[in-house]
């Protein structure tokens, strides 16, 4: 089942800005159809359960604090 952007945010219980950042950084599984983003629900849940969202959060925090080099 493919989820729309807003549905993926609800599924992960995150803000749209967070999901946009994860997509832009290539940290979350996404399907691009032209300019439209879709998310495979099963892949998204597996990604979340595998703890990859924690890595994504760390990456965003590291990039915000200017620690991208190390």
Return the domain boundaries, the chain. Answer: 2-64
pLDDT tens-digit series, residues 19-45: 999 999 888 999 998 999 999 999 999
Select from 1.10.10, 3.30.70, 3.40.50, 2.60.40 the CATH code of 2-64: 1.10.10
DSSP string, the chain: -EE-HHHHHHHHT--HHHHHHHHHTT-S--EEETTEEEEEHHHHHHHHHTTHHHHHHHHHHHHHTT-TT-
The pLDDT confidence band at residue 16, using thresholds 50, 70 and 90, is: very high
Look at residue 70 in the predicted model and tell me its pLDDT.
45
- Name the pTM for this structure: 0.77
């Amino acid at each position: 089942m493919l989820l729309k952007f807003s549905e993926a945010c609800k599924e992960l219980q995150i803000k749209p800005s967070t999901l946009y950042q994860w997509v832009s950084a290539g940290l979350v599984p996404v399907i691009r159809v032209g300019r439209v983003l879709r998310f495979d629900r099963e892949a998204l849940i597996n990604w979340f359960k595998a703890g990859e969202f924690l890595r994504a959060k760390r990456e965003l925090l590291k990039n915000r604090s200017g620690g991208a080099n190390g």
